[in-house]
Structure 1
Amino acid sequence: MQFAKENGHFKVKNLSIRSFKIIADGALGSHGACMIQPYSDEPENYGMLLKTPSEIKAVFEEAKHYNYQVNSHCIGDSANRTVLRFIDTLLSSTPDHRWRIEHAQILHPEDFELLSQSGALPSVQPTHAVSDQRWAEDRIGKKRLNNGAYAYNSLQKSSGMVLFGTDFPIENYDPFATIHAAVERKNIENEPLKGFISDEAISFEKTLKAMTLWPAYGCFEEANVGSIEKGKTANLVIFDQPVKSHSNFLPNYSWITIINGEITFDMR
């Protein structure tokens, strides 16, 4: 908080600092995600919050005081509910706060409305779903899996937008793996054949927004980046093949990369 107090919103070259990250709970795979009901494969285990509710609230209040965002790592439905309730309470009078829920991996079905009214933005990584698909049902059971887990379509409808990332180096940073996971709900080996929880697929058009303009909005940069418009920074890539989605994974590669209006990579 001392940095925020002394510097406010800080920007130098391509680096912008105006947010804090809170790790609210652990990961689903290690049974550390904080759940409302116990794990299906460990009936005595609910996971855990890594910070107490009072600690989380204290960080939120200071961040609000310094006009900083808070981006909260929330995997389990209990962690998501706890953080969303705090956001809804603290920022009800600040509609354009753009505080983010990082991962938003499992939400209780009743909490999608809470997400909508809180104004929080879900920031997710589509490849998580297709990486976890082999064991996720073991952790939380079929009912929870199909009612609020990896629910990117439902998240987008609730909040009006969803922000996509990769969680590199934990996950594959290939943007075309992200597209394939979001639209086809498959990994780059094209598994599973019919897609993982395919009802939660995002359209190709919304996926492109979730990788460009919506993340720019999520960090208050939509006036500078996120789309090709006059007056915005020229960060562009010309690909070897047309950018599209297909039922089978299609790799693609940069032919020309332009950053800040300058060609930084050229295969011509």
Structure 2
Amino acid sequence: MGVHHARRSDSLDAAHAAFARGGRPVLGPRPPRRRRRTGRTRHGDRGRARTAGIHGADPAAARSVARRGVAHRPVARRARPRRRAHHAETTITWLLMLTFSGQTTAYYALTTWLPTILGDQLQVDRTSAGALASIFQGVGILGAFLVPVLTRYFPTIVPAVVICVCWLVLTGGMLVAPAGFVVWASFGAIAHAGGFVVIFTALVAVARSDAEAAGMSAFVQGGGYAIGALGAPVMGYLHEATGDWSVPLALVLGISIVYCVLLLSSVAGVRRARA
């Protein structure tokens, strides 16, 4: 009883002393302060997690709060770009297919009958005619290297124009002056080798992914080779019907003109689609 009274007396004395010094008398253990509830910050739970981390809260708890905030917050989806170029790409794909068809038709029609044409027009034997016809294939290696260089340093329209001029020189020269075949064949070899490069360079330029480029390439090559396979039979039929090579060569010249128009249109379409 005396001990309890002494402890109480000491507590009262300490309280009076604190009050006398202008302080706040404390008669017992200080009750815990009630924390004010605040609304969500503009950053949500993730903002509270960052604040807790700054003020020394448990980092694991802060990450847990951030995860809960991310889980319950609706995630804004990134808007996909509109496929505004879809129609243009479809048109260009068809243009490239028709362009490739023109090249393969003219190439197969001419190269299939070239030894026979040279033998009939130049009055040479089959061996010499075959040797002359090989120029058209051999010089094509030069075109396979020359046109990529032009494509590297000039706009695509430049090698396209060069290819068109070479095709017209070949077919027009064969029709008007077959004796100059070596010159015409040299130009034509550059044309048929470089045309392949320009067509598929344009295809890759307009494709938005490797998968799309593969699909476009399959369409262009499949349609082009299917149509081009008709060139040689039609040319042979015209020769049989007329007994001369003038009409078949005029047909190849006409196909070359259409091919040039399609090639230039395709290149221009690719430039507009990429603009």
TM-score (norm 2): 0.22
The answer to which structure has the higher helix fraction is 2
TM-score (norm 1): 0.22
**Larger gyration radius, structure 1 or structure 2:** 2
